[in-house]
Amino acid sequence: MKEIKIRTPVKCDKGHFNYLYYSVTNGYVKDVRFAYPLCDCNNADSYKQCGDDELCTGLRDKTNVNIYEGDKILIKGNIDITFDFVKGSYYINDLTKITEVVGNIHEGRNK
């Protein structure tokens, strides 16, 4: 069965932001990890969800980083996008134009 990769935005009691990454296969959660080292409270139990789960799109940027829902990406040049209004989705027909993930909706632009 297909592996589903998910990340969840979390904050600790002191307000420090992090992501909890995990994957689900056949109903079993595996590979649970934080994106960044724990803050000085150093207590994983103090982190609480602060946003919706974000699914991995299955796409990667030029540096081989997974692209998740909510990521901001840098696109160079003209792109060809097809919108599917019935499904409420879109498709980028030339994925080579996606060059890199530069931020996300929770942390803003990184570069």
- In this structure, the answer to whether residues 80 and 44 fall within a common structural domain is no
**Which of 16-25, 31-40, 97-106 has the lowest average pLDDT?**
97-106
Burial 12-23 (b: 16+ CB within 10 A, else e): beeeebbbbbee
* C-alpha to C-alpha distance for 2 and 110, rounded to whole angstroms: 31
Identify the domain containing residue 18 by its residue range. Answer: 1-52
Q: What share of the chain is helix, strand, coil (3-state, %, to 5)?
A: 5, 50, 40
Q: How many domains is the chain built from?
A: 2
92 and 76 together in one domain = yes
Query: pTM score, two decimals?
Result: 0.72
Residue written as tokens 């009691």? 13
85 band by pLDDT with thresholds 50, 70 and 90: low
